[in-house]
Amino acid sequence: KGGPKGFGKGGFGGGKGYGKGYGGGRGYSSRPQPLPEGFEVNPTTVFTGTVITYYKFQGYGFITPDQKGAIPGDKVFVFWKNINSTDRFPSLLKDAQVQFTVSVVERRGVTTLQAENICNIGGTPIAVQDEVDQKKTFVGGQNLRYTGTLKFFSPKQGFGYIKIDPGFQYDKEGVPEEIRVEQQEMNCGGGNPDTAENLQVEFGIWVTQKGVFKGYNVTLPGGVPLPQAVPEA
């Protein structure tokens, strides 16, 4: 099953993904808490704490430190780029115990604090995507890879579409010729995905609870990470 072109796992599973950021749509809308005058930050101090909320598709959340009173408001903002993770798409789970440092940043015209170097207590990278993947339903199994053309991917919109190469047979009915791929499945080996058009790719296929077929762990042929976006200066 899986078709004549199906082959073993070739995905570069350790890569990171891309987040939409925050500030628009359903993103972060409340004003950042300003840093009290005279408050000093030691960027080498390691805190431990609990993730009180995290919005995966907006790429941000908040951590409350165990050391009460050490951080103004006992809450610090966390952005996905500062998560030390082996996942394709770095994320945090609510109520997770983590360690982190803090830095002073300017956000929306306000001098405030932001969590940095977020990882598991003890320093190991965050890894939650494997647990999430285990709950997915796959076409042909999680390790089966298909080939096709990434017609486009838009980092701004956070999704793209893949046209599957003809000739595959599937163990599930209704797989369309084109499937959508979300940003968290764009595997760039640790970077952000760039705008792409008419790119040859390989991928898995999974099915949502509503029966929608989508791309999974998309890479270049042979499991090579997708092109990364050039970081902004």
CB 68 within 8 Å of CB 111: no
Per-residue model confidence as pLDDT tens digits over 100-154: 999 999 988 889 999 999 999 999 999 888 888 889 999 999 999 999 999 999 9
| Residue-level pLDDT at 109 | 87
Find the mean pLDDT for residues 45-74. Answer: 91
Residue type, 136: K
pLDDT band, residue 4 (cuts 50/70/90): very low
Per-residue model confidence as pLDDT tens digits over 185-204: 998 876 678 999 999 999 99
| Residue-level pLDDT at 22 | 35
CB 92 within 8 Å of CB 125: no
Strand partners, 48: 99
User: Is the predicted pLDDT of residue 3 greater than 70, yes or no?
Assistant: no
- Inter-residue long-range contacts of 33-36, CB under 8 Å, 24+ positions, other chains counted: 33/72, 33/73, 33/75, 33/110, 33/112, 33/113, 34/110, 34/111, 34/112, 35/72, 35/104, 35/111, 35/112, 35/113, 36/72
Give the rounded percent of residues in the chain with a pLDDT score beyond 70: 85
